[in-house]
Amino acid sequence: MPQPMEFRIRGLGLRGWLMILVGVSVAMAIVVAIAVVAVGVFLFLLPLLAVVATFYYLFGRTKFRPRNRQGKEPVIIDGEFHIVDASEIERRPPPQN
């Protein structure tokens, strides 16, 4: 009859746990450093973007895109017109809105 093989499962031991602790600590330090830099950039850029957007809204449109080009070309209003006498107005007053 063959004898069963004995094998032992060893725990990590103190050195293994310390290596895991150091690895997790380094990973957490990197994550915290990235978060601090991201918050710092956000706190710096948010007011800067608000000021730039305000200046663009107030002053930027006239340089890049004029609102209207009146004066260069005549404005033509198309419609049908007829001359009205004062007596015609007295006979049929215009409708009141």
Residue 59 lies in a domain: yes
Mean pLDDT of the chain: 81
Domain count, the chain: 1
Residue 96 lies in a domain: no
Query: What is the spatial distance between Cα 33 and Cα 91, in angstroms, rounded to a whole number?
Result: 86
Residue 19 to residues 11, 30, 31, 80, Cα–Cα distance (Å) = 14, 17, 19, 91
Residue 60 lies in a domain: yes
Q: Strand, coil or helix: what is 73? A: strand
pLDDT digits over 19-38, tens only?
999 999 999 999 999 999 99
pLDDT digits over 48-75, tens only?
999 998 988 888 765 555 555 556 677 7
Residue 26 lies in a domain: yes
Residue 76 lies in a domain: no
Residue 50 lies in a domain: yes
Residue 3 lies in a domain: no
Query: What is the spatial distance between Cα 18 and Cα 23, in angstroms, rounded to a whole number?
Result: 9
Domain that holds residue 33: 13-68
Residue 54 lies in a domain: yes
pLDDT class of 43 with cuts at 50, 70, 90: very high
